[in-house]
């Protein structure tokens, strides 16, 4: 069976808290409590990284500045 995962994967880790919501961490999603929180944190991280990567590009609104023709 493909779904023969070990039952320990979803067991909460004692003493560990999810950095996003503060709930007990689940082993499979450590250091988070759930897939949702993991995605949330990942999204935050990617956003920050993305910002740095596109630092050179002018954002929407910065384009208003025009040189004299
Ligand atoms: Zn959480």
- pLDDT value, residue 25: 93
Q: How far is the CA of 32 from the centre of ligand 1 (A)?
A: 5
Q: How far is the CA of 4 from the centre of ligand 1 (A)?
A: 25
Beta strands in the chain (DSSP E): 12-17, 24-26
Q: How far is the CA of 20 from the centre of ligand 1 (A)?
A: 5
Is pTM, for the whole model, over 0.75? Answer: no
Q: How far is the CA of 49 from the centre of ligand 1 (A)?
A: 22
At 34, is the secondary structure helix, strand, or coil?
A: coil
Distance CA 5, CA 45 (A): 29
26: which strand partners?
A: 12
Residue 49 binned pLDDT confidence (cut-offs 50, 70, 90): low
Q: How far is the CA of 29 from the centre of ligand 1 (A)?
A: 9
In CATH terms, the fold of domain 11-53 is Erythroid Transcription Factor GATA-1; Chain A (3.30.50)
Domain ranges of the chain: 11-53
User: pLDDT tens-digit profile of 5-47?
Assistant: 555 668 887 899 999 999 999 988 999 999 999 999 989 888 8
């Amino acid at each position: 069976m493909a779904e023969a995962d070990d039952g320990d994967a979803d067991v909460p880790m004692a003493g560990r808290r999810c950095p996003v919501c503060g709930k007990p961490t689940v082993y499979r999603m450590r250091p988070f409590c759930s897939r949702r929180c993991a995605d949330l944190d990942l999204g935050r991280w990617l956003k920050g990284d993305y910002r740095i990567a596109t630092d050179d590009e002018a954002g929407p609104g910065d384009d208003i500045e025009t040189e004299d023709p």
